[in-house]
Amino acid sequence: MASQKLIVGNWKMNGLQDDARARISAVLDYAPKAPSSAKVVLCPPVILLNSAVSQTASSSVAIGAQDCHAEKSGAYTGNTSAEMLKDAGCRYVIVGHSERRQYHKESSEDVAAKAKAAHEQNLIAIICVGETDAERSAGTQEEIVLEQLQKSIPAGSTAENTVIAYEPVWAIGTGKTATVQDVADMHRFIRGHVSAMPILYGGSVKSSNAQEILHTENVDGVLVGGASLKADEFIGIISAS
């Protein structure tokens, strides 16, 4: 639906200053040769955001964060607000990643509050949804994803300020990619509920499967974890867009 494919690299808790710089340099070197159909977003750990923003300043590569707090400021030790991310030069923020939902017990209501905070700062919220292995085995994946969509997308969300990322939990970091049919079915289902918002697929995307995933109907891009840490792999994914 979107005219450009969004290729988002989610570095998670990986990267020290030197390798981050090298990885970004490799992407910047490739950028002039990248298909015009690709829009690249890198989401490094929060401590690397400032340097990533400076390094990509005169390029088309945008920087995003992996999470934000719902409040603007205050006594929330260890957290980062959407306003701080905006101030640092971020354009995107991932919210509701399954690792946040699982390890930080974030509910869909929490996710909606974070997305709302992002919107208030004119950041684009990448809202993640996806079922577990057990939920898919029970055949409840659509029910689960629908409930997450209904509760995680705040009022005021539009195709301009919100991106949906469908990431089946069982496919994240496991090497188990959903089949093209699984992706097509779920993306069609999600499309029916979010109309024009871009919908990304995430879960073991790599250069060898990016082409078919990116060209599946209703797939507007990919959210890439492990493969975004290897410059060659990530560039291979960009080139498949």
Binding site for ligand PGA (CB under 6 A): 10, 167, 172-173, 202-205, 223-227
Min CB(206)–ligand PGA separation in Å:
8
Residue nearest to ligand PGA (CB): 225
Active site residue 97: yes
Nearer to ligand PGA, 10 or 80 (CB): 10
Nearer to ligand PGA, 173 or 192 (CB): 173
Q: Residue 57 Cβ, how far from ligand PGA at the closest point, in Å?
A: 25
| Per-residue three-class SS string for 108-121 | HHHHHHHHHHHHHC
Q: What gap in Å lies between CA 43 and CA 52, rounded to an integer?
A: 9
> 20 or 213: whose CB is closer to ligand PGA?
213
Please work out, in degrees rounded to the nearest 5, the angle formed at the alpha carbon of residue 7 by the alpha carbons of 139 and 163.
60
Tokens of 189: 């289902």
Active-site residue, from 99, 135, 167, 233: 167
The least CB distance from residue 40 to ligand PGA, in Å, is: 15
Q: 83 or 101, CB closer to ligand PGA?
A: 101
| Tokens matching residue 60 | 């088309």
CB of 172 to ligand PGA, least distance (A): 4
User: Does the active-site annotation cover 119?
Assistant: no
Residue 153, Cα to own-chain centre: how many angstroms? 15
Alpha-helical regions (H) of the chain = 17-30, 49-55, 82-88, 98-103, 108-120, 133-137, 141-152, 180-194, 207-214, 231-239
Taking only Cα atoms into account, the Rg of the chain, rounded to an integer number of angstroms, comes to: 16
Q: Determine which one of 69, 83, 97, 187 is catalytic.
A: 97
**Residue numbers annotated as active site:** 97, 167
